[in-house]
């Protein structure tokens, strides 16, 4: 994707309209296969039994919550640096999906925590910083919509997103830096200690969530474009 | 060293979906002042803020050579400080050192000698504006960017401003002033907004 | 794209970080002295709420000693939050903020000065008062000392983060609630480490890890936040 892809809302509108269904289809297929692997094929865990299967939602959702925030912050950076409208709209489009995945990660984590740790919630470093991430998403959405001039909202929220990026390494590395209750990472670029079907199940679910997020963001962005650009000729021609 | 100089080239500004102004250009050299005129909402304030660097313009460029002073709609006077403290703060903010005698003299000149120790909330709008005039008298900046400097000033205040503007221009300074009054000395040119 | 080119012209007054810091610091302290009510209000609120807990919870010493540090920290958080709104809002409303933005003194300088003055009239009194309040909860000397040190490190961080949120919400609808939504989640890590330090000391463990994290956070925030606030102020004035 070259730079000028982001230049014209009209072009982007058409492109996004064509691409979004493809993303959703990919999401559905990989999600189905991933869930099959996770719920049916993967073996029962020696210590935790069947409960551990929530990992196939929990871990991919947590990965996505951080990844989406990072992408949102990048779009925020582009908004501030280049003052483009489209970058700001993409950031706004990503925020609700990112917030949803953060909530899912926290909720499935609580569901998993009860049988394994005996508590729905503990104030350890990783959980607390993930909760802060949820509030950062909420703050981003609230701030972006708090101004009369939407461009002001775009820029203030973009700055907030960039400031909050500091939270991502804290979430990611917290299990290494502190003695926390949350288990350390089992998956890294060097290899994994997990059973291969579990790994594949998780990766496929992560891919599925990623495709869903892309599709949802594109659809939401199209709506934002229609709203922001409603006075332009091409939008009026659509109705 | 070259003298003070302000130039705007093809400036354009959009607010929301409407274009506020387009293709505005001007040049100002030392000893000149420019009057910016136009109806309410025609973009005078936005243009001045673009030249001052507070607001970004959507197109065009501004070239400024020399130190400048900007005075906008809001008088930048804090209610809890008195006139001389406010004046000293405004000058110190721009790095201008002024001793107590100079400040008192300036406040006398603008007719605030009796009220200099009162907290600014006890001053009328016109009296606050006069603190701004005292600032113009003491600040050595060669470039003035002023937005409706005569607002809330009575006839005596307007006469004071005219005096200060005349002196500034004679000393080789330049000014860009948004106003609907006719001032003397007359401006070297007028910029009409919202034509 | 707008470009403002400043060609070298007749000499401009020199601006410096230190001069900007001193300007904002002395001015804001002077303003706080003119309105001592606001400072006293913050401190009084802190003291009152912290004192209500022993009354409400019952005088069981073990329980009080357990919850004391946490309560004092939460009160410090809320009191710091209450004193935030006027930080930039007054100057924004009377036009001083744009004059400050146009000053030859670099923006992070006077921003740091304002935040330092804010801390002197909110965080510092709270830190000084904390041993007295800790006595109400029956905390021992070691815990009181650690608590005060944790507050001394943590309250400046609260001032810095709170000021950033305050600058971001200039001119926004939703006022205090929006500010709370942004600021309180950012305060949470400070609360955790700050209260954790005091609790570690109460339990006989070393509070050094917590305190050093707070110290590192303070250094990082002090260096980075004024620049972020400068960007937020420029956005607000645009």
CATH number at residue A34: 1.20.120
Q: What is the pLDDT of residues B37-69, one digit of tens each?
A: 988 888 899 999 999 999 988 889 999 888 899
Cβ distance C99 to B76 less than 8 Å, yes or no, reads: yes
The answer to whether the CB of C194 falls within 8 A of the CB of C157 is no
The encoded tokens of residue B189 equal 């040119």
Q: Give Cα A138 distance to the centre of its chain.
A: 13
pLDDT at C105 over 80: yes
> Please, what is the end-to-end C-alpha distance for chain C in angstroms?
14
Nearest CA in chain A to B57: A83
pLDDT at A187: 64
Cβ distance B16 to A83 less than 8 Å, yes or no, reads: no
DSSP for C218-231 reads HHHHHHHHHHHHHH
How far is residue C155's CA from residue C73's CA, in Å, rounded to a whole number?
A: 9
pLDDT at A186: 63
- CB contacts of C188 in chain A (<8 Å) are 128, 131-132
Domain ends where: B98, B123, B141? B141
User: Domain span at residue B94?
Assistant: 76-141
Cβ distance B62 to C96 less than 8 Å, yes or no, reads: no
DSSP for A193-219 reads SS-HHHHHHHHHHHHHHHHHHHHHHHH
HEC secondary structure over chain C: CCEEEEECCCCCCCCCHHHHHHHHHHHHHHHHHHCHHHHHHHHHHHHHHHHHHHHHHCCCHHHHHHHHHHHHHHHHHHHHHHCCCHHHHHHHHHCHHHHHHCCCCCHHHHHHHHHHHHHHHCHHHHHHHHHHHHHHCCCCHHHHHHHHHHHHHHHHHHHHHHHHHHHHCCCCCCHHHHHHHHHHHHHHHHHHHHHHHHHHHHCCCCCHHHHHHHHHHHHHHHHHHHHHHHHHHHHHHC
CATH classification of the domain holding B172: 3.40.50.300
Q: What ipTM goes with this model?
A: 0.90
How far is residue A225's CA from residue B79's CA, in Å, rounded to a whole number?
A: 44
pLDDT at B111 over 60: yes
B57 shares a domain with B153: yes
Q: What is the pLDDT of residues A140-189, one digit of tens each?
A: 999 999 998 899 999 999 999 998 888 888 777 777 666 555 666 666 65
How far is residue C98's CA from residue C114's CA, in Å, rounded to a whole number?
A: 15
Nearest CA in chain A to B18: A231
| Cβ of residue B80 closer than 8 Å to a chain C Cβ | yes
Q: Is residue A13 part of a domain?
A: no
Cβ distance C103 to B66 less than 8 Å, yes or no, reads: no
Q: What is the pLDDT of residues C109-148, one digit of tens each?
A: 999 999 999 999 888 988 998 999 888 888 888 899 999 9
Enter the DSSP assignment of A149.
S
- CB contacts of B61 in chain C (<8 Å) are 2-5
pLDDT at B34 over 90: yes
- Least Cα distance to C15 among A158, B95, B39, B92 occurs for B95
Those residues with Cβ within 8 angstroms of residue A214's Cβ, 6 or more apart along the chain or in another chain: A23
H or E element that contains C50: helix C36-57
Q: Is residue A14 part of a domain?
A: no
Q: Which chains are adjacent to chain B, needing at least 3 Cβ pairs under 8 Å?
A: A, C
How far is residue B87's CA from residue A98's CA, in Å, rounded to a whole number?
A: 50
Lowest mean pLDDT among A6-20, A102-116, A165-179: A165-179
Split at pLDDT 50, 70, 90, the class of C10 is low
Mean pLDDT value across chain C: 88
Split at pLDDT 50, 70, 90, the class of A204 is very high
Most distant CA pair in chain C, distance: 73
Q: Is residue B131 part of a domain?
A: yes
How far is residue C1's CA from residue C13's CA, in Å, rounded to a whole number?
A: 28
Q: Is residue A7 part of a domain?
A: no
B13 shares a domain with B51: yes
How far is residue A215's CA from residue C232's CA, in Å, rounded to a whole number?
A: 32
Strand order in the sheet with B174-178: B68-71, B143-147, B174-178, B33-37, B189-192
The answer to whether the CB of B4 falls within 8 A of the CB of B66 is yes
Q: Is the sign of the CA dihedral A207, A208, A212, A218 positive or negative?
A: positive
Cβ distance A131 to C185 less than 8 Å, yes or no, reads: yes
- CB contacts of A83 in chain B (<8 Å) are 56
- Least Cα distance to A225 among A35, A26, A92 occurs for A92
How far is residue B36's CA from residue C56's CA, in Å, rounded to a whole number?
A: 66
Q: Is residue A232 part of a domain?
A: yes
B111 shares a domain with B128: yes
Interface test with A, best of C2, C163, C174, C186 (most A CBs within 10 A): C186
Mean local confidence (pLDDT), A29-47: 83
How far is residue C6's CA from residue B5's CA, in Å, rounded to a whole number?
A: 10
Q: Is residue A9 part of a domain?
A: no
Q: Is residue B71 part of a domain?
A: no
Give me the number of domains chain B comprises: 2
Cβ distance B78 to C96 less than 8 Å, yes or no, reads: yes
Percent of chain A clearing pLDDT 70 (strictly above): 89
- CB contacts of A135 in chain C (<8 Å) are 181, 184-185
How far is residue A156's CA from residue A146's CA, in Å, rounded to a whole number?
A: 10
User: Domain span at residue A45?
Assistant: 23-236
Enter the DSSP assignment of A220.
H
B54 preceded by a cis bond (ω within 30 of 0):
no
Q: Is residue A119 part of a domain?
A: yes
B137 shares a domain with B107: yes
pLDDT at C152: 95
Cβ distance B56 to A231 less than 8 Å, yes or no, reads: no
DSSP for B116-180 reads TTSBGGGS-HHHHHHHHHHHHHH---SEEEEESTTTT--HHHHHHHHHHHHHHHHTT-EEEEE-S
Angle at A161 between CA A159 and CA A165, to 5 degrees: 120
- Least Cα distance to B129 among B105, B106, B110 occurs for B110
| Cβ of residue A83 closer than 8 Å to a chain B Cβ | yes
Give me the number of domains chain A comprises: 1
Percent of chain B clearing pLDDT 90 (strictly above): 41
Cβ distance C9 to B4 less than 8 Å, yes or no, reads: yes
pLDDT at C84: 85
- CB contacts of C1 in chain B (<8 Å) are 59
From the CB of residue A92, how many other CB atoms can be counted at a distance below 10 Å?
A: 27
How far is residue C119's CA from residue A142's CA, in Å, rounded to a whole number?
A: 27
């Amino acid at each position: 994707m070259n730079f000028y892809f982001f230049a014209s809302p009209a072009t982007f509108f058409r492109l996004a309209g064509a691409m979004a269904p493809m993303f959703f289809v990919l999401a559905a297929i990989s999600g189905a296969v991933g869930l099959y692997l996770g719920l049916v094929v993967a073996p029962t865990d020696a210590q935790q039994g069947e409960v551990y299967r929530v990992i196939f939602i929990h871990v991919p959702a947590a990965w996505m919550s951080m990844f989406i925030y990072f992408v949102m912050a990048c779009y925020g950076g582009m908004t501030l640096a280049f003052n483009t409208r489209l970058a700001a709209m993409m950031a706004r489009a990503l925020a609700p999906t990112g917030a949803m995945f953060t909530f899912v990660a926290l909720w499935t984590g609580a569901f998993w925590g009860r049988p394994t740790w005996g508590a729905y919630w503990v104030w350890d470093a990783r959980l607390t910083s993930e909760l802060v991430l949820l509030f950062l998403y909420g703050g981003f959405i609230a701030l972006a919509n708090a101004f009369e001039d939407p461009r002001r909202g775009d820029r203030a929220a973009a700055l907030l997103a960039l400031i909050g990026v500091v939270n991502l390494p804290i979430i990611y590395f917290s299990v290494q830096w502190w003695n926390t209750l949350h288990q350390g990472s089992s998956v890294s670029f060097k290899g994994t200690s997990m059973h291969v079907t579990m790994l594949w199940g998780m990766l496929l679910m992560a891919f599925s969530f990623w495709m869903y997020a892309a599709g949802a963001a594109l659809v939401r962005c199209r709506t934002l474009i229609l709203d922001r650009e409603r006075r332009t000729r091409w939008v009026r021609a659509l109705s | 060293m070259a003298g003070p100089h302000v130039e705007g080239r093809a400036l354009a500004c959009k607010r929301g979906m409407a274009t506020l102004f387009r293709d505005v250009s001007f040049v100002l050299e030392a000893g000149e002042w420019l009057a910016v005129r136009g109806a309410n909402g025609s973009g005078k304030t936005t243009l001045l803020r673009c030249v001052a660097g507070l607001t970004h313009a959507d197109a065009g460029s501004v070239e400024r050579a020399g130190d400048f002073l900007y005075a906008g709609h809001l008088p930048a006077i804090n209610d809890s400080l008195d006139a001389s403290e406010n004046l000293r703060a405004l000058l110190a903010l721009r790095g201008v050192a002024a001793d107590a005698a100079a400040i008192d003299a300036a406040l006398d000149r603008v007719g605030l000698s009796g009220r200099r120790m009162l907290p600014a909330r006890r001053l009328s709008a016109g009296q606050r504006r006069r603190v701004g005039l005292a600032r113009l008298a003491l600040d050595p900046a060669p470039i003035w960017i002023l937005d409706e400097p005569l607002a809330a000033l009575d006839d005596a205040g307007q006469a004071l401003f005219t005096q200060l503007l005349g002196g500034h221009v004679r000393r080789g300074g330049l000014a860009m002033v948004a106003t609907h009054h006719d001032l003397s000395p007359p401006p070297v040119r007028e910029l009409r907004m919202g034509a | 794209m707008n470009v403002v080119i400043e060609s070298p012209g007749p000499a401009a007054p020199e601006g410096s970080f230190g001069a900007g810091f001193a300007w904002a610091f002395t001015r804001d302290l002077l303003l706080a002295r003119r309105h001592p009510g606001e400072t006293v209000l913050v401190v009084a609120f802190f003291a009152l709420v912290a004192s209500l807990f022993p009354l409400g919870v019952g005088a069981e010493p073990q329980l009080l000693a357990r919850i004391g540090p946490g309560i004092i920290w939460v009160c410090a958080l809320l009191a710091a939050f209450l004193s935030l709104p006027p930080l930039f809002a007054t100057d924004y409303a009377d036009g001083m903020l744009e004059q400050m933005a146009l000053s030859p003194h670099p923006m992070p300088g006077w921003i740091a000065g304002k935040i330092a003055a804010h801390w002197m009239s909110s965080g510092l009194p709270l830190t000084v008062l904390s041993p007295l309040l800790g006595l109400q909860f029956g905390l021992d000397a070691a815990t009181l000392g650690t608590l005060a040190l944790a507050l001394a490190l943590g309250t400046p961080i609260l001032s810095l983060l709170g000021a950033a949120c305050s600058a971001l919400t200039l001119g926004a609808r939703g006022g205090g609630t929006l500010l709370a939504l942004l600021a309180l989640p950012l305060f949470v890590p400070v609360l955790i480490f700050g209260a954790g330090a005091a609790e570690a000391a109460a339990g006989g463990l070393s509070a050094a890890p917590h305190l050093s994290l707070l110290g590192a956070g303070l250094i990082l925030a002090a260096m980075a936040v004024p620049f972020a606030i400068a960007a937020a102020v420029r956005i607000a004035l645009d």
